[in-house]
Structure 1
Amino acid sequence: MQRVFSIGELAAAIRRCSLFITNDSGPMHVAVSQKVPVVALYGPSNPKFYGPYTDYAIVLESTDHYEIGKSMKKLLKREIQGLR
């Protein structure tokens, strides 16, 4: 049987992270609420409307909505190389 986590349990687990890499999702907003640094990957949705609105989040947004997976992979690879 699959276990379902409550929002509180999810927040407690995310709070233990030193960095949370995620897509535009509920857990991303939970991480922001717990003040955990976030790398948020956006595809077709607009981060200007949906956040995260914090200084400790990096937003990577695809401009190619038809090939989001390929674009995000290239964008993420470039950003990770920039961190080295």
Structure 2
Amino acid sequence: NMDFFTSIPTHIDYVGQAKAEKLYRAIITLFSIVGFIWGYIVQQFSQSVYILGAGFILAAILTLPPWPMYRRNPLNWQNPRNPEEKSSG
């Protein structure tokens, strides 16, 4: 049972982090502008809040999980040094 949970990837790379942040900002900005305009048209502040809340939920679904689109540029780590070798420095 625990093998399923340990097999789920839990990381994204740096390029993926930047992509997720840009997407999050774009969604929140778009939904806040649309929510403000719609709330102004219908004169209901609650409509603005609902639209912004929907944008927040959408942004969370699209950016919080480590989707494969955020893991396309993995870091190539260097091999560890042998601790028994003396460093030249």
| TM-score using structure 1 length | 0.27
Q: Which has the higher helix share?
A: 2
Question: Which protein is bigger by CA-based radius of gyration?
Answer: 2
Higher strand share: 1
- Give the TM-score normalised by structure 2: 0.26
Higher relative contact order (CA 8 A, sep 6+): 2
